Structure 1
Amino acid sequence: MLERTRRKTRTEITFVLPAGHPAGPVSVVGDFNSWRPGANPMTERPDGSRAVTVAFPAGERHGFRYLADGGHWLDEDGADGHDGRNSLLHT
């Protein structure tokens, strides 16, 4: 799930995964962090879900995916689109 907070010149996107799915550490990787695993690790919230917030300039498009423990890739069903390989996000 994606939660958005729009500011004057940027959009803050909170990437959220449900509690316990998938098990183990997960990070958000994309063109905004040079696809570096661990650059944006998700942390547990009080309700057990995991999240990380990233600020983006307004009016951009980015590709991203979730990378779970063991090299398991996940897509975001609630993304703004998919390009056949990555989830897409429009800020």
Structure 2
Amino acid sequence: MAPLSLLFGGPAEVGRLGWQDEALCAQTDPEAFFPEKGGSTREAKRVCTTCDVRSECLEYALENDERFGIWGGLSERERRKLKKRAV
């Protein structure tokens, strides 16, 4: 994987996204985190349960309205429900 500074530009952006360097998903099969419709999310969620940056990941997904994949241990549907409850 390329350094974050090459992917995202300046130091401020790298600092904001620095949690990604610690994410366990970066060390596993990315396809597990973006299953096909109806596919299992079990493996991705299992990885998320032990990830030290799970909350940062979920916060990023919510702030950026990520509509696909498992982020912070939650599926797209689970994140939508969470956002509805927060309103």
Higher relative contact order (CA closer than 8 Å, sequence separation 6+):
1
With the shorter chain as reference, the TM-score category is: under 0.3
Q: With structure 2 as the length reference, what TM-score do the two structures score?
A: 0.23
Higher-Rg structure is: 2
Instruction: Kindly indicate which of the two structures has a greater share of residues assigned to strand.
Output: 1
Q: With structure 1 as the length reference, what TM-score do the two structures score?
A: 0.23
Instruction: Kindly indicate which of the two structures has a greater share of residues assigned to helix.
Output: 2
